Amino acid sequence: MKFKKFASLALAGVMTASLAVPAFASETEITGTYTAPDIAVEVTPSAAAFINPLGLDIEVATGVTVSGRQIISAPMTIKNQSAMDLQVDASMTATINEGSDMRFVGTTTGGAGSTKTAFAYLQATQAKDLTGADAAVDATAIGTAYAAWDATAYSASTDLLVNSAMATSKANLVVVRAANVTGGTFTAYKPGSVALVRLAGDCVASPTAGSWTETKTEAGKTTGDGFTINVAYTFKPATVTKYDVTFDQTGGTGGEAASVDVQKAAEGDAVTVTVTNMGGSVKATVTVEDAEGNAIATAPANGEITAPNGTATFTMPAGAVTVTATFA
């Protein structure tokens, strides 16, 4: 019994010694850094606006004539040359020419009234046809897109109202989509990378308490009816809902291949299906369906591709799609 007791005591001593051995220690240093996002945007630095009480045909830019607009500006643009979608917020100040008795009001004039009042607002819209290299989005292309932009009534949810008595602002005036950027360098605008901007509105056509006075600038001084508006834009990454693009390839003799250029796309995006290495007697048919099985239109209209290396495109709807390329 004494021997066993000694053994127990000895064992306890060993355990105590083991527990007393110092634990191995080390450490990790974590360093946080911030890299500013590369946001590159070009905006029109200045533009003319026109008070056109009678709504006559008026040339707002070279080769660009509009009709029936009482307040209208020359075309302006916001060009996103960044690799990210951007939300555009805007703030505005407005001043009326010294000595002019015209005024801005907060509701439409309907073209009638006793005093020289104007109702004006800033509008913006994605110009999805303005794509390609910067040189391709020139004054002619912008003018064509601007002329095709139909007149729309003021919307408090999307437009920025002009007020000469105080500054005004609008969050999310428009979203400009990401451009093609390769190796950090802008290469081309995608559909929606460019937004058109205009000043629009109406005014009293024939004030009963006076008449509109022509704007003149002499000796550096501007007189007559007119105004100056300053718009400041701010940009931040935009949240754009994107939907799944599921792709499948069927049929063929083994050498053909097909692919889709994106796995997710937002409503209105152009999606491209590319086929390669088709033999002379082989053709590909591209079909696109939404989640309910409804067909989505393609270009070419029948979805058929006969060139050895060809493409088909479609416009993304507001929901997921399944794309199938069938070789036969």
Q: Rounded distance, CA 286 to CA 268, Å?
A: 19
Phi and psi at 193, nearest 5°, equal -70, -20
- What 3-state DSSP class applies to 244? strand
Instruction: Indicate if 295 and 195 belong to the same structural domain.
Output: no
Q: In what order do the strands lie in the sheet with 86-96?
A: 168-176, 86-96, 227-237
User: How many angstroms from the chain centroid is the CA of residue 192?
Assistant: 5
pLDDT at res. 279: 73
Task: Give, for all 328 residues of the chain, the pLDDT tens digit.
Answer: 444 444 444 444 444 445 556 677 889 999 999 888 889 999 999 999 999 999 999 999 999 999 999 999 999 999 999 999 999 999 999 999 999 999 999 999 999 999 999 999 999 999 999 999 999 999 999 999 999 999 999 999 999 999 999 999 999 999 999 999 999 999 999 989 999 999 999 999 999 888 999 998 888 888 899 999 999 999 999 989 999 999 999 887 767 889 999 999 998 888 999 998 887 667 899 999 999 999 999 999 999 998 888 999 999 999 999 999 999 8
Q: DSSP character for 134? A: G
If one counts the domains in the chain, the total is: 2
Label residue 292 exposed, middle or buried (CB < 10 Å: 0-12, 13-18, 19+).
exposed
pLDDT at res. 210: 86
The fraction of the chain above a pLDDT of 90, given in percent, is 77
Assigned domain for 33 exists: no
Instruction: Indicate if 66 and 171 belong to the same structural domain.
Output: yes
Assigned domain for 131 exists: yes
Instruction: Indicate if 47 and 125 belong to the same structural domain.
Output: yes
Instruction: Indicate if 305 and 232 belong to the same structural domain.
Output: no
- Measured from the Cβ of residue 67, the count of other Cβ atoms closer than 10 Å reads 11
- What 3-state DSSP class applies to 131? coil
The fraction of the chain above a pLDDT of 70, given in percent, is 92
DSSP string, 136-205: GS-HHHHHHHHHTS------TTT-EE--TTS-EEEEEEEEEPPPEEETTEEEEBPTTSEEEEEEEEEE-S
Assigned domain for 3 exists: no
The residue among 189, 221, 237 that closes a domain is 237
Instruction: Indicate if 200 and 122 belong to the same structural domain.
Output: yes
Label residue 101 exposed, middle or buried (CB < 10 Å: 0-12, 13-18, 19+).
middle
Which residues 6+ apart lie within 8 Å of 255 measured at CB? 277, 278, 279
Assigned domain for 28 exists: no
- What 3-state DSSP class applies to 314? strand
Place of tokens 């979608």: 85
Phi and psi at 221, nearest 5°, equal -115, 130
Assigned domain for 34 exists: no
- Summarised one tens digit per residue, pLDDT across range 162-184 is 999 999 999 999 999 999 999 99
Instruction: Indicate if 103 and 138 belong to the same structural domain.
Output: yes
Instruction: Indicate if 160 and 302 belong to the same structural domain.
Output: no
Residue 43 identity (one-letter amino acid): V
Instruction: Indicate if 58 and 181 belong to the same structural domain.
Output: yes
The residue among 215, 237, 259 that closes a domain is 237
Which range marks the domain in which residue 59 is found?
41-237
